[in-house]
Amino acid sequence: MPDTVKNSRHNHKIDLGDFMEKNFRSDMSMTEFAQATGRSLSTFKRDFKKLSTLSPERWLTARRLRAAFDLLKRGQRVSDVCFDVGFKNVSHFSAIFKKKFGITPGEARKGLMPINPL
């Protein structure tokens, strides 16, 4: 578990947006994200609605995809990027990347521009 998560396990709520931005790569369930920010799952989801029109799960996927796109543009390997940004499966990552951007991760790595903008 990342240090920012370990250090945040206390009884008061911490800044949700900041925590999510710092820990979007972490392999945590939504319940674990909620607990790490000092919230119940329902309070976490309610507070998250104040930050984004997306659900926490969709926000997390979108944030990971944006990070992946940036890393791929720099020429990093698809499999490395997949795991570095928090995905667990390369084929799942590739499929949702293509659905989001209209190009494969390999094409993004080669410098092709996305059909669907960030």
pLDDT tens digit string along 54-91?
999 999 999 999 999 999 999 999 999 999 999 999 99
Does the pLDDT value for residue 7 go beyond 90?
no
The count of structural domains within the chain is: 2
Q: Are 102 and 68 within one domain?
A: yes
Question: The CATH number of the domain where 104 resides is what?
Answer: 1.10.10.60
- Based on the fold, state whether residues 35 and 63 are members of the same structural domain: no
> Residue 114 domain-assigned?
no
Any idea which of 53-57, 79-83, 97-101, 108-112 has the lowest mean pLDDT?
A: 108-112
Q: What is the largest CA-CA distance in the chain?
A: 47
Give the residue numbers spanning the domain of 95: 57-109
Q: Where does the chain have alpha helices with state H?
A: 3-6, 16-23, 30-36, 41-49, 56-73, 78-84, 90-101, 105-109
Per the listing, tokens 């997306």 go with 54
In a domain, 115, yes or no: no
Is the pLDDT assigned to residue 45 strictly greater than 50? Answer: yes
Whether residue 62 sits in one domain with residue 45? no
